[in-house]
């Protein structure tokens, strides 16, 4: 699972693991009018441990941030459940918008990015930010971003949300994976 976000917004042509295996790009959110972009990508059935992710774009990327997290227990074939969600807005509570799934025990992953500096990223109720799950940024040149996850418990709809200590323009997205 990888989140890639940046300002400068060229199209991503590929994200590869260890130089050869392509991740599936499942959500590419570019807010209306430009600004910050989020690309969600995944690759099921990866062996744990250290890996290298290589991002290729068809232009110059500025101020890139990449967050990668490994999760286990999802399907290795056709793992995505539902269409996911994406949204953009302004304020201290970035939110993916509502999404619906078919399975009540999915792994949900939500992400956001915004153009400012924050001192903390707090996940939505029942969600967890992993140890490497956020970057506080340092203004519009180095955007803040975060990733959170939740294991659904008999739930088939949800919204990924965060609370941050600033009020930027932001973009957010969420995706669900079947167990």
pLDDT by position in tens, the chain (length 179): 555 555 556 778 889 999 999 999 887 766 555 557 788 889 998 988 899 999 888 887 767 778 888 898 999 999 999 988 988 888 999 999 999 999 999 999 999 888 777 778 899 999 999 887 887 766 555 678 889 999 999 999 999 999 998 888 888 889 999 99
What pLDDT is recorded for position 74? 93
Tokens of 85: 């969600």
CA–CA distance, 148 with 76 (Å, rounded to integer): 21
Contact 160, 124 (CB under 8 A): yes
Tokens 């930010």 — which residue? Answer: 129
Tokens of 5: 């976000």
CA–CA distance, 56 with 78 (Å, rounded to integer): 24
What pLDDT is recorded for position 2? 54
By CB neighbour count within 10 A (0-12 exposed, 13-18 middle, 19+ buried), where does 161 fall?
A: buried
CA–CA distance, 129 with 135 (Å, rounded to integer): 11
What pLDDT is recorded for position 4? 53
CA–CA distance, 44 with 70 (Å, rounded to integer): 10
Q: Residues with Cβ < 8 Å from 145, sequence gap 6 or more?
A: 3, 5, 65, 67, 111, 112, 113, 114, 134, 135, 137
What pLDDT is recorded for position 20? 92
- Domain tally, the chain: 1
Query: Where in the sequence is the domain holding 164, given as residue range(s)?
Result: 2-177
């Amino acid at each position: 699972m990888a989140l890639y976000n940046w300002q400068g917004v060229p199209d991503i042509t590929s994200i590869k693991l260890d130089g050869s295996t392509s991740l599936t790009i499942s959500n590419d959110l570019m807010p209306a009018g430009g600004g910050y972009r989020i690309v969600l990508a995944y690759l099921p059935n990866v062996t744990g441990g250290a890996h290298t992710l290589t991002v290729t774009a068809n232009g110059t990327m500025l101020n890139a941030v990449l967050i990668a997290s490994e999760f286990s227990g999802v399907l290795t074939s056709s793992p995505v459940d539902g269409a996911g969600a994406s949204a953009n807005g302004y304020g201290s509570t970035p939110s993916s918008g509502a999404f619906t799934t078919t399975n009540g025990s999915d792994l949900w992953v939500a992400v956001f990015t915004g153009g400012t500096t924050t001192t903390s990223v707090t996940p939505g109720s029942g969600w967890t930010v992993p140890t490497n799950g956020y970057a506080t940024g340092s203004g519009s040149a180095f955007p803040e971003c975060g990733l959170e996850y939740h294991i659904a418990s008999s739930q088939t709809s949800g919204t990924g949300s965060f609370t941050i200590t600033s009020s930027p323009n932001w973009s957010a997205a969420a995706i669900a994976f079947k167990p």
